Structure 1
Amino acid sequence: MKYRTLGRTGLWVSEISLGAMTLGGRTDDPIWGAVGALRGDDAERLVLAALDAGINYLDTADTYGGGESEQELGRILGARRDSVLLATKAGGSRSGPGQNNLGGTRVHLTRSIETSLRKLRTDYIDIYELHIFDHLTALDETLAALDDAVRQGKIRHIGASNFAAWHIAKALGISALRQISGFVSVQTHYSLLGRDVETDVLPLAESENLGVMVWGPLAAGYLTGKYDAKGVTTESSSRRAVNPQASLPPVDPAAAAPILDVVRAVAARNDATIAQVALAWVLARPAITSVIVGARTPERLLSNVAAVDLRLSEKDLAELNEVSALAPRYPHWLNEVAASLRGPVAA
């Protein structure tokens, strides 16, 4: 395993992190049954394989596995807890039947932190993330509540998940103005099939020295070679085949087909799997700290972990960049024009 520093925290994070979304949940649940619903020995084998491979960052959320993912992690880790970095999230999906069991309110976050600590069997959380942006609650309120938890020692650092760049920038400004805890990381979707964050989130993260944790680097299995040009797979256990609604992000098969063709060619040249190429491409991009991968089996997880040793050539990267490139957008070409107008500095 290889490690990178998490923004300005000084913490070393494995280039591959384990996403615990596959842990917990009922097998007959339309969402969690499709995602994984691992529990007991199956869950333990997966987590221990990750630790043995050198993965030291485990990512979960209060609602993963119908609320059971945190419980499974807490049970499995036991005395190993201090050897890993635990990240969990709140404020995304509803965590209970009450009207206030969601969002970024002080009431909900305070309850959620206590519940996560209990389920994870720990007295502190390394990275506590806001799962999505709450448009109803003032950011001042949310950040003050999280800062209180940091000062109490219940969480070490705070981060943002699925925030737009302006959300993150506004939050950083509030934290600096009030001299309270600010985001140290951002978790975002990024893959060869989804490069939108290159226009704003990634440049912001690089500018402000935020760690970038990538979810969905394989586009929920689409970048594994399971799917044909029409988006059809013969693997009946595939998440997209079981329940397309449980698979994020959405994928346009027509747009994905030429990208997959190039990924297959690069994989063949490097004697690698399609998934390894897709992961290695993300790891080769600027500002990235770690990619979060989920798996149902240790074998699949370890195959993906091998991506850290895959070094794509300049030709490989150029071909992948070209076929997956975003269409030119206003800020980009304007910046290029401005740069060309500057020219050399006069003597």
Structure 2
Amino acid sequence: MEYTNLGNTGLEVSRLCMGCLNFGTEQPWMLHDREEAQEVLDRALELGINFFDTANAYSGGESEEILGAAVAERDREELVLATKVYFPMREGPNGGGLSRKHVLDQAHASLERLDTDYIDLYQIHRWDENVPIEETLSALDRLVEEGVVRYVGASTMPAWKLMKALHEADVNNYERFVSMQCEYNLVDRHEEANVLPLCADQNLGVIPWSPLAGGFLTGKYERGEDPDEGRAATDEYTENRFTDENWAVLDVVEELAEEKDATAAQVSLAWLLRKELVDAPIVGPRTVEHLEDDVGALDVDLTDEEMERLEEPITPVWNRDIGDV
């Protein structure tokens, strides 16, 4: 495994982050078997992955519980546990959002589910239009002062909102976001026209989610055929990736995979890993075999010409809403 620093911090993370969205029972495509989830997480640790990302809202907290149980006997000092807050955890007033009350309450609830004394990276899952960002930043700052959070980060928002948060943190001497978790892959490159230039300017770490475009970039779907498995079978957002320009990207991915004796997933991840801004793509394998295949991307080298071939079919544009991931 290779390691890098997250943004301009001293925090060392593995070049692949293990995403835990798939662990739980909330959706049909999730891995409902906790023993199987434990096997995948155990193998990730064996392969040297030390960076794990989850969220309080993933299966209503189940994901955090599964991750906490998996790492309970491991050396906590080597692990980097990241979770998120924003989406509703219950019905009624104060059940979601980024109010001081909800942020503080959910941080301590996440600590309990993760069975840990501190969270390495605590992220706002989305921007809350109903709460002043100063209130949210003050709450996050309080958690850092208490010692239950080490770093704070953000996820999925327009660049101007991220810059507003960074400015308010600087003006009020609050803890600053050190990373941005955003959708980024070979067919979803809109962030190149939004938040990625700002991350470069402000030295923020970049942790891409959906690096394989919901499985599209693995080659699991066939052009012209209706999906009968995976997230696209139940998720219109994933199926909407089935466009001519995206199929053209996949054609190049599969050509390079054959040339390099690699898989489509490995080529797609290798493209991300070669991006200077990217610290650790968040992979979400449901099996040990898929995890090992993902890690194999670290051994795939792409030339400048091959990077250009992969990027040629798409011109990045920031013009759409992002799904609630």
TM-score (norm 1): 0.88
Contact 1:229 1:253 survives alignment (8 Å): no
Aligned match of 1:295: 285
- Which residue does 2:6 correspond to in 1? 6
Answering whether residue 34 of structure 2 is matched by residue 34 of structure 1, we say no
The aligned residue for residue 138 of structure 2 is: 144
Match of 1:238 among 230, 237, 262: 230
Taking only aligned residues, the RMSD between alpha carbons, in angstroms, comes to 1.7
> Residues 249 and 7 of structure 1: is their aligned pair in 2 closer, same or farther, counting only changes over 3 Å?
farther
User: How far is 1:328 from its partner?
Assistant: 11
CA distance in 2, matches of 1:170, 1:225: 39
User: Tell me, which stretches of 5 or more residues in structure 2 are unaligned?
Assistant: 320-325
d(CA) in 2 for partners of 1:46, 1:300: 9
Could you say if the C-alpha distance between residues 231 and 181 of structure 1 is closer, same or farther in structure 2, counting changes exceeding 3 Å? farther
Q: 1:230, 1:253 within 8 Å by CA — same for their partners in 2? A: no
Asked if residue 106 in structure 1 is aligned to residue 97 in structure 2, the reply is: no
Query: What secondary structure sits across from 2:96 in the alignment?
Result: coil
Name the CA distance, whole Å, in 2 between partners of 1:280 and 1:45.
25
Residue 2 of structure 1: how far off its partner (Å)? 1.0
CA drift of 1:15 comes to 1.0
Q: What is the number of equivalent residue pairs in this alignment?
A: 318
Distance 1:208 1:50 in 2: 31
CA offset at residue 203 of structure 1? Answer: 1.0
What is the 5 A alignment of 1:140-289? 140-230=134-224, 232-233=226-227, 236-241=228-233, 243-245=234-236, 248=238, 250-289=240-279
Deviation at 1:249, TM superposition (A): 8.3
8 Å Cα contact 2:193/2:316 also seen in 1? no
Q: Distance in 2 between matches of 1:231 and 1:104?
A: 41
Matched AA of 1:127: L
Q: Tell me if structure 2 keeps the 8 A contact 1:18–1:50.
A: yes
> 2:284 aligned with 1:306, yes or no?
no
Match of 2:322 in 1: none
- Secondary structure of the residue aligned to 1:263 is helix
In structure 2, relative to structure 1, the CA distance for the partners of 1:138 and 1:273 (3 Å cut) is same
Q: Is 1:133–2:127 an aligned residue pair?
A: yes
Question: Does the CA-based 8 Å contact 2:14-2:51 persist in structure 1?
Answer: yes
Post-superposition shift, 1:257? 1.3
2:323 maps to none
The AA in structure 2 aligned to 1:271 is: D
| C-alpha separation in 2, matches of 1:75 and 1:52 | 16
Identity %: 39
SS state of the match for residue 282, structure 2? strand
Find the counterpart in structure 2 of residue 319 from structure 1. 309
The separation in 1 between residues aligned to 2:298 and 2:226, in whole angstroms, is 29
How far is the alpha carbon of 1:33 from its aligned partner? Answer: 2.3
SS in 2 for 1:58: strand
Partner of 1:124: 118
Q: 1:184, 1:250 → 2: CA distance? A: 32
Rounded Cα–Cα distance in structure 2 between residues aligned with 1:300 and 1:21: 15
Q: Which runs of 5+ in 1 are unaligned?
A: 330-347
SS at match of 1:290: coil
1:79 Cα deviation from its structure 2 partner:
2.6
- Return the letter of the residue paired with 1:34: W
Asked whether the equivalents of residues 191 and 316 of structure 2 are also in contact (C-alpha less than 8 Å), the reply is no
Name the aligned partner's letter for residue 28 of structure 2: G
